[in-house]
C-alpha cells in the first residue's frame, strides 16, 4: 500500500488539485489502508487541504501483529491529518452482541463515516438562520488530534436536550468524553417551531460535557421537512490533549463505611433513543464520566434518561 501510494504521488496530487477538504477512510492493520492512508494524508497536508480520516481498528481476534500494524499506522496518520476518528471493530461485539449479522454490524460502523461526512456537508452547504460555514469547520478542525462527529434526532417536548445528549454518545468510538476538546461546533436543524429556549437547552447539554476552555461555535438551520423532529450535529476536535490534563484531587471523608466502594447509583438508558447511531468520543479517566452524570442530574435530567454507556463509565 505504501509503495503503491509513493509511486502514485503525482497522480494523487493531481486528483486532489482544487479540493478544500478531504475525507480519508480506511481499515487499519493490513497493507493497503495502513500504508497508503498516511501517504495520501501527507500529500493533502502539503497542499493545504483540510483533511479528516475516519478509520477502523481491527478486532482483537485478528491477532497482535495486525493490531500492532494498526497502531503504528494510526500514529503516522494522526501526525498528518487535521482530525482523526477511529472506529473500534471490537466494540461491535460488545455493543450489539454475538448474534448480530456481519453485514449489519459493519453497517453500524459505516454509519460513523456517513454521519461524519453528511453532518459536515450540511454545516458547509446548507445556509442557516445562525450560519456556521466552512470557515467555522476549518477553525474547529484545525485543532490537531483525535475528533468526534455525532448527529442525533429527537422529537417531543424534550427533543433539544435528548438530541444533544445522544449526539455525543457512541460506544463504537475510542472513548466518549468531550472534556479534552479544544474546539466544538454544534449545528441545530429544525423547522420554524424551533424555540430560542430549545437552542439554549441543546447548548447547555453540550456544555455539560465539554471543557470550559473549549472554543464553541453554534449554528441553526431551518428545514421545513423536519416536522416535530430536531437534529443536533456535534463536531469536537483536539481531543488528544485530554491525556495531558490532570484529574482533580478527591477529598476522602471517613464515615464509618470505609470498606464500601463509593460510586454513583446506576442508571438505565433512555428507552426511546438509540445511542449507537451517532458518533461521539475520546478516552478519559473515571472522574470525567462521573462528573458528567452528576451535572446531568443537577440540570434536572431523569434517572432513566442517563445514557447507559455513560453510566457504565461512571461506575
Domain shared by 104 and 168, yes or no: no
Domain shared by 167 and 271, yes or no: yes
pTM: 0.64
Query: Which CATH number does the domain housing residue 278 bear?
Result: 3.30.1330.20
pLDDT for 216: 87
Encode pLDDT of 84-98 as tens digits.
Answer: 888 888 888 888 888
pLDDT for 310: 56
Cell of 244: 495531558
State how beta strands 215-222 and 229-237 pair: unpaired
Per-residue confidence band for 231, with pLDDT thresholds at 50, 70 and 90: very high
End-to-end CA gap in the chain: 42
Return the DSSP state at 234: E
64-78 and 32-46 helices, crossing angle to 10°: 0
Query: Which CATH number does the domain housing residue 97 bear?
Result: 3.40.50.1440
**Three-state SS for 101?**
coil
Domain shared by 52 and 172, yes or no: no
Cell of 269: 438508558
Element (H, E) at 114: helix 102-125
Residue 76: inside a domain: yes
**In the sheet that 183-190 helps form, which strands lie side by side, from edge to edge?**
148-155, 229-237, 183-190, 215-222
Encode pLDDT of 59-82 as tens digits.
Answer: 888 888 999 999 999 999 988 988
Domain shared by 144 and 187, yes or no: yes
Residue 22: inside a domain: yes
Residue 107: inside a domain: yes
Residue 258: inside a domain: yes
State how beta strands 148-155 and 215-222 pair: unpaired
Asked whether residue 228 carries a pLDDT value surpassing 80, the answer given is: yes
Residue 33: inside a domain: yes
From 121, 150, 169, the end of a domain falls on: 121
Residue 126: inside a domain: no
From 91, 121, 151, the end of a domain falls on: 121
Domain shared by 155 and 300, yes or no: yes
Domain shared by 308 and 202, yes or no: yes
Domain shared by 231 and 289, yes or no: yes
Element (H, E) at 84: strand 83-88
pLDDT for 115: 78
CB atoms within 10 A of CB 277: 19
**Three-state SS for 97?**
coil
Domain shared by 50 and 149, yes or no: no
From 64, 92, 121, the end of a domain falls on: 121
Domain shared by 82 and 116, yes or no: yes
Per-residue confidence band for 266, with pLDDT thresholds at 50, 70 and 90: very low
b (16+ CB within 10 A) / e for 165-201? bbbbbbbbbbbbbbbbbbbbbbbbbbeeebeeebbeb
Encode pLDDT of 299-314 as tens digits.
Answer: 666 655 566 555 555 5
Domain shared by 117 and 162, yes or no: no
What's CA 84's distance to the chain center, in Å?
10
Number of domains in the chain: 2
Domain that holds residue 164: 131-314
Domain shared by 64 and 206, yes or no: no
Residues 6+ apart with CB under 8 A from 115: 149, 150, 151, 277, 278, 279
CA dist 95 and 98 (Å) reads 9
Domain shared by 174 and 41, yes or no: no
Amino acid at each position: 500500500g505504501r509503495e503503491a501510494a509513493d509511486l502514485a504521488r503525482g497522480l494523487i496530487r493531481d486528483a486532489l488539485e482544487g479540493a478544500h477538504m478531504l475525507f480519508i477512510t480506511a481499515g487499519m492493520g493490513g497493507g493497503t489502508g495502513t500504508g497508503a492512508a498516511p501517504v495520501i494524508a501527507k500529500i493533502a497536508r502539503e497542499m493545504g487541504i483540510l483533511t479528516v480520516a475516519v478509520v477502523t481498528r481491527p478486532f482483537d481476534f485478528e491477532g497482535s501483529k495486525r493490531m500492532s500494524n494498526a497502531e503504528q499506522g494510526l500514529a503516522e496518520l494522526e501526525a498528518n491529518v487535521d482530525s482523526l476518528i477511529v472506529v473500534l471493530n471490537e466494540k461491535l461485539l460488545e455493543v450489539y452482541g454475538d448474534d448480530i449479522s456481519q453485514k449489519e454490524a459493519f453497517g453500524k460502523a459505516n454509519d460513523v463515516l456517513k454521519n461524519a461526512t453528511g453532518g459536515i456537508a450540511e454545516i458547509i452547504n446548507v445556509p442557516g438562520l445562525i450560519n456556521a460555514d466552512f470557515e467555522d469547520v476549518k477553525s474547529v478542525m484545525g485543532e490537531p488530534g483525535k475528533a468526534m462527529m455525532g448527529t442525533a434526532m429527537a422529537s417531543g417536548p424534550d427533543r433539544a436536550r435528548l438530541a444533544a445528549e445522544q449526539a455525543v454518545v457512541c460506544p463504537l468510538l475510542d472513548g466518549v468524553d468531550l472534556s479534552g476538546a479544544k474546539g466544538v461546533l454544534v449545528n441545530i436543524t429544525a423547522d420554524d417551531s424551533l424555540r430560542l429556549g430549545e437552542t439554549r437547552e441543546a447548548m447547555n447539554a453540550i456544555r455539560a460535557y465539554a471543557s470550559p476552555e473549549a472554543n464553541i461555535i453554534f449554528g441553526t438551520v431551518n428545514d421545513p421537512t423536519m416536522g416535530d423532529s430536531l437534529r443536533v450535529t456535534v463536531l469536537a476536535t483536539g481531543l488528544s490533549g485530554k491525556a495531558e490534563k490532570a484529574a482533580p484531587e478527591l477529598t476522602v471523608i471517613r464515615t464509618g463505611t470505609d470498606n464500601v466502594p463509593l460510586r454513583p447509583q446506576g442508571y438505565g438508558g433512555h428507552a426511546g433513543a438509540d445511542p449507537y447511531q451517532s458518533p461521539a468520543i475520546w478516552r478519559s479517566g473515571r472522574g470525567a464520566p462521573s462528573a458528567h452524570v452528576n451535572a446531568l442530574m443537577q440540570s434536572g435530567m431523569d434517572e432513566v434518561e442517563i445514557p447507559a454507556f455513560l453510566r457504565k463509565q461512571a461506575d
